[in-house]
Amino acid sequence: MNRPNIVFIMSDDHAAHAMSCYGSRINRTPNLDRIANEGMRYDNCFCTNSICAPSRAAILTGLYNHLNGVQTLGDRFDGRQQTVSKLLQQSGYQTAIIGKWHLGHGGDSDPTGFDYWNVLPGQGDYHNPTFVEMGANKVYDGYVTDIITDLSLDWIAGRDKERPFFLMCHHKAPHRPWIPDAKHAHLYEDIDIPEPPTFDDDYSNRAAAAEAAIMRIERDLKKRDLKIDPPEGLSERELKSWKYQRYIKDYLRCVASIDDNVGRLLDRLDEEGIADNTIVIYTSDQGFFLGDHGWFDKRFMYEESLRMPFIVRYPKEIEAGSVQDAMALNIDFAPTFLDYAGVSAVEPMQGVSLRPLMKGEKPDGWRTSMYYRYWMHLSEHGVYAHYGLRTHDYKLIYYYADALGATDAIDDPKPPEWELFDLRNDSAEMRNVYSDPAYTDTVARLTEELHRMQLEVQDTPYTGRQQGA
Ligand code: CA
């Protein structure tokens, strides 16, 4: 059996709308576009909880966060549970994870199922970062995105060529505070990056959660994000634009370095003669607001944050330049890898293999809705705890707005509220139609579907505070 190699490249907070293969209006990513042009672009790939550690745990386990134990940034991953890396390793794959881990360190939280691991502690540093290589600290000179790529290339070069390999190459960039390398430090210097259409959102016609969020470009970016003081004499609106330019340019400079480094990795696969038998994926742990709704950060179930970029190349099965609009989720990644590896026993994973979609087929009964939940009520960016349902045409969100004892959540309940967006004519999600009589039937149908799906994935509906709680 000639099983494929799997190179899983994941960046941190890279939104699909900052990739030219997804039609970016603000940057070009020629090397990422190579993957899409030579393979498939998924247009409806979503995370099940738009925050770093939980998405990573979902990818490793194929489980929703209430089952894998990482619901918030405050939860440590228990590596004793089943993971895709362990199963691939047991099936004979060589396995490695290099770069960002962000699931805790020490004890049962170190990476498991990897022959080799060399990861950043916590968020890690952009310049001259410390790594933890198989448990031992080691400082590397240089820029983190280059180093993660170098280490990945070294590991590929030193592999046993008789056995397939699984490499998780996890970039730290373009995570806050968006520090570019010297090579890209002056990129975009002489141009203005366009502001997004919803830049001046005033949060009217939405639940209270949107206005309450602490992620506004004009108010919530810090000196460490902007790096310099603004020029004097700017109006409030001019200052907002100035901050956006500072923010988005550094973000895109970090992305440009990722793009270069993905190019280096693709070139190496060509040089090694293994490009045809290697599945190459590029994704990010979630999306990000790039000034959309006047925001940076993620967490909300809104499109920019919910959507994961997901492009994949595998010439043996995937038609070049193809586009897939069926719904894929981060919990599907593990079952997909196992399918390609010929490992069939994936219980209790909740995701399903994307392999039929890769071949351009869409199995009967493929999901037409997905379930999402964010637990970190009011933590750091002030986003209310919520869960919801997205179908191809609608999004229903319930801000139950209660910590419910979650770690890294603030015990200060807010009045629960609903939102419904009609994505067919409001893809920017600017108008909550939950109370619009024209949508009464839709609300009823989607609410039922939400609760059906919540039970199906073994999560618990919010029923108010227990007496005495
Ligand atoms: Ca992230």
Q: How far is the CA of 381 from the centre of ligand 1 (A)?
A: 14
> Tell me, what's the pLDDT at 344?
83
Percent of the chain at pLDDT above 90? 97
Residue 195: phi and psi, rounded to 5, are -80, 145
User: What is the pLDDT averaged over residues 349-377?
Assistant: 97
Q: How far is the CA of 309 from the centre of ligand 1 (A)?
A: 12
What's the 3-state SS for 54-102?
HHHHHHHHCCCHHHHCCCCCCCCCCCCCCCHHHHHHHCCCEEEEEEECC
Question: Nearest-5° angle of CA 363, CA 366, CA 371?
Answer: 160
Q: How far is the CA of 217 from the centre of ligand 1 (A)?
A: 18
Ligand 1 is an ion; its neighbours by CB within 5 Å are: 12-13, 52, 285
Q: How far is the CA of 255 from the centre of ligand 1 (A)?
A: 14
**Residues paired with 388 in a beta bridge:** 372, 397
Report the C-alpha dihedral over residues 296, 299, 302, 303, rounded to 10 degrees: 70
> Tell me, what's the pLDDT at 1?
62
404 touches 385 (CB < 8 A) = yes
Residue 272 CA, distance from chain mean position = 29
User: Residues 333-352: pLDDT tens digits?
Assistant: 999 999 999 998 678 999 99
Confidence check: pLDDT of 467 > 80? no
> Tell me, what's the pLDDT at 464?
85
Domains and CATH numbers, the chain: 5-180+246-368 (3.40.720.10), 370-457 (3.30.1120.10)
Q: How far is the CA of 47 from the centre of ligand 1 (A)?
A: 11
Confidence check: pLDDT of 468 > 60? no
Q: How far is the CA of 346 from the centre of ligand 1 (A)?
A: 26
Q: How far is the CA of 445 from the centre of ligand 1 (A)?
A: 33
From the list 320, 462, 312, 306, the residue with the least C-alpha distance to 398 is 462
User: What is the pLDDT averaged over residues 388-403?
Assistant: 98
Percent of the chain at pLDDT above 70? 99
Distance CA(465)–CA(327), nearest Å, equals 34
> Tell me, what's the pLDDT at 453?
97
Based on C-alpha coordinates, what's the Rg of the chain?
Answer: 21
Diameter over CA atoms, the chain: 68
9 touches 171 (CB < 8 A) = yes
Q: What is the pTM of this model?
A: 0.98
The strands making up 310-313's β-sheet, listed across from edge to edge, are 136-139, 130-133, 116-120, 94-100, 165-170, 5-11, 278-284, 310-313, 40-42, 322-324
User: What is the pLDDT averaged over residues 68-86?
Assistant: 97
> Tell me, what's the pLDDT at 425?
97
111 touches 97 (CB < 8 A) = yes
Q: How far is the CA of 83 from the centre of ligand 1 (A)?
A: 20
Residue 402 CA, distance from chain mean position = 24
> With bands split at pLDDT 50, 70 and 90, how would you rate the model's confidence at 466?
low
Distance CA(430)–CA(422), nearest Å, equals 10
> Tell me, what's the pLDDT at 347?
86
Confidence check: pLDDT of 446 > 60? yes
User: What is the pLDDT averaged over residues 317-327?
Assistant: 98
> Tell me, what's the pLDDT at 346?
76
